[in-house]
Structure 1
C-alpha cells in the first residue's frame, strides 16, 4: 500500500511533502486521490487484470460464448484504469488527466462486469426451465441490461463532469451527486438481481444438481455478491465526496474496490460460463457438458 494510505488530508486537499507539485500543463495544486498512489499495487492490479483478460478472451473464443463478451470489456476498462494509476504513482500524482482516466475506467468497469453476470442468469433459466423463475430470460435481459445502460450513462456523465470541474478549479459537488445517483441506481438494480437470482437458485436446486451445475452456481452467486460489495463501497465513498475519509485511504480502495473484482474475475476464469453453459444465452446449447461435470465433481 502507499505510504500515505492513511495520511490525514488538509481541508483544501492532500499535498505530498516528499513530492512537490511539478506544475506541469495538466497539473493541479493537490493530489485528488487523497494520497500518493502505490506504484507496486497499481502495477500488480494492471498485470492481474491483463492476465485475467487473456484467460477470459481465450475461453470466450474457444467456446464461442460471445454473449459473455461484456465481461472482457470490463476487464479492459480495469486495465486502462490501473495503467493510468501507474502513471499517477510513478510519473506525476498531480496530473489531472491521469486521475480522470484512472477514476473513469475503474468506476465504470464493473458496469460491464455486471452486464456479463446478468446474461448468466438468463442462460441458466433457459437451460433449467423458466418455471423456476419469476421473470423470463427476456425480461431479465431487457430490465437489467437497460438498468446497466442507465447506470453507465449516469456514471460516465458524473465522472466526466468531475474531471471538468476539477480542471477548472470549480466545486465538483453537483458532478459528484450525478455520479452518486448512477451508483445508487446500480446498487438498487444489482440488489433486485440478487433477490431474483436467489429465488431462482433456491427453486431450481434439484435441476441444478441434475445438470451438474452446482459448483458453477456457487461461483455465480459468489461473484455476484463480490461485485455488489464493490458497488456498495463505491456508493459509500462517493457519498462522502472527494477528500472524504474513505476516498483518501488506499488500503480501503485495495480491499473493497480491487480485491472483490479481482476475486470475481478469477472465479469465472476457473468456471467460465462459456464452458459451463455453452455458446448461447437462450436454447439448450450445452457445449462442454463433460468438462462442466468434471469441474462440478472436483
Structure 2
C-alpha cells in the first residue's frame, strides 16, 4: 500500500463531514448506483417471496433465503450510499457506509451456499455419501470460518473508515489506514481459502454424482447419481459459488493494492467484478431456489419402498414394491 498516492480531485474547503479528497478515487457513477438499488430490490423481493411463501416447503428454506435476503438489504444500503456519494463525493460517512455494507454482505451469501450443499446432501437418498465429510461438518467448519471472516472483515472495514476519517480531518488515530487495510486483507484471504476448500469438496460431490459404483452395499451411493435434480442442484451451487469466489478474489487483490491502487480507483472493475458476480449469484438463487430441487418436508431421502431389498436369486435387483406381487418377502428370502 505504501507508495500509492492520491491523484483525484481536491476539496479546497472541506466541511466538517467532508474529506479533502475523494476516498473512492473517483466520483461514483449515478447509473451504477441506481441500477444497483433496483436490481438488489428485485432479488430481495424474490428471496422474501421464497422465505414467506407456503410453496416449496423444504428443509432449511427459511435460513437459506433469510441469509440472502439480509445480504441483499445490505447491498441496497451500500448502493444507496454510493448514490449519495455521487452528489457529494467528499462526504466521509457515505463512503464508510457503502464500504462496510458491500464488503460484508457477501459473507452472508457464502454462508447460504455452504448451507445449500448440506441441504443437497441430506435431501436425497445417498446424498451424504457424495461428500468427503459429513453435511453437519460442512456447516460447522465452513460457517465457523465464515464467522471468523465476518468478524475480521467487520473490524477491518470499520477501522478503515474511522482511521481514514481521522486522517483526512487531521485528528489522531490509534491505527493507521494501512494497518486497518491489512486486517481486512487477512479476513478476505481467510475467506478465499475456506471458500476454495469448499468448492473442492463440491467438485468431488459432482464427480461422484456422475458415476456409479459396483457392489451390493452401494445402492444408496448409486441412487444419488440417479437423481437429475440433485445433479442440477449441485451445478447451481457450483455456478453461484464460483461467482462469489470471483468477487472475493477481486476484493482480495483490491485490498492488497490498498487505497488509490489501480483496482480501487477504476469503477469499471468494481462494476464488473463486485456488482455483477454478486447480483448474478442472487438472481440465480431467486430463479432456481432449493425448493425447485429438494423434495418437500417429510419426503427427504427418497422413498424407502423403492430401495432394493430382495437378495434371493429369484428376486435379486427387485425393489420391495416390485417383489410383493411375486410373493417375495424380504425377511423370508
TM score, norm. by length of structure 2? 0.77
How far apart are the structure 1 equivalents of 2:250 and 2:231? Answer: 29
Residues 1:89 and 2:82 are matched in the alignment? no
Residues 1:107 and 2:103 are matched in the alignment? yes
Bigger Rg over Cα? 2
In structure 1, the residue matched to 2:319 is none
In structure 2, the residue matched to 1:186 is 191
2:115 to 102, 119, 138: 119
Give CA-to-partner distance per residue, 1:230-286, whole Å, 9 cap, x none.
Answer: 000000000001111110000011010011111111111110113432577x98179
How far apart are the structure 2 equivalents of 1:75 and 1:31? Answer: 26
Contact 1:14/1:30, CA 8 A, preserved across alignment: no
How far apart are the structure 1 equivalents of 2:143 and 2:16? Answer: 40
SS at match of 1:277: coil
Give CA-to-partner distance per residue, 1:110-153, whole Å, 9 cap, x none.
Answer: 10001000000001111232222111111001001111100000
Residues 1:172 and 2:177 are matched in the alignment? yes
SS at match of 2:14: coil
In structure 2, the residue matched to 1:79 is 76
Q: Single out whichever of 190-199 and 207-216 deviates more from structure 2.
A: 207-216
Residues 1:284 and 2:297 are matched in the alignment? no
Give CA-to-partner distance per residue, 1:62-91, whole Å, 9 cap, x none.
Answer: 14521201111111111111110000012x
In structure 1, the residue matched to 2:291 is 274
How far apart are the structure 1 equivalents of 2:226 and 2:243? Answer: 24
SS at match of 2:261: coil
How far apart are the structure 1 equivalents of 2:194 and 2:296? Answer: 26
In structure 1, the residue matched to 2:150 is 152
Over the aligned positions, Cα root-mean-square deviation in angstroms equals 2.1
In structure 1, the residue matched to 2:34 is 43
Q: Identify, as 1 or 2, the structure richer in helix.
A: 1
Contact 2:25/2:260, CA 8 A, preserved across alignment: yes
Contact 1:16/1:36, CA 8 A, preserved across alignment: no
Tell me how many residue pairs correspond in the alignment: 273
Residues 1:13 and 2:2 are matched in the alignment? no
TM score, norm. by length of structure 1? 0.86
Q: Give the C-alpha shift of residue 15 in structure 1.
A: 3.5
In structure 2, the residue matched to 1:292 is none
In structure 2, the residue matched to 1:296 is none
SS at match of 2:229: coil
- Runs of 5+ consecutive residues of structure 1 not aligned to the other structure: 1-9, 287-298
How far apart are the structure 1 equivalents of 2:260 and 2:281? Answer: 28
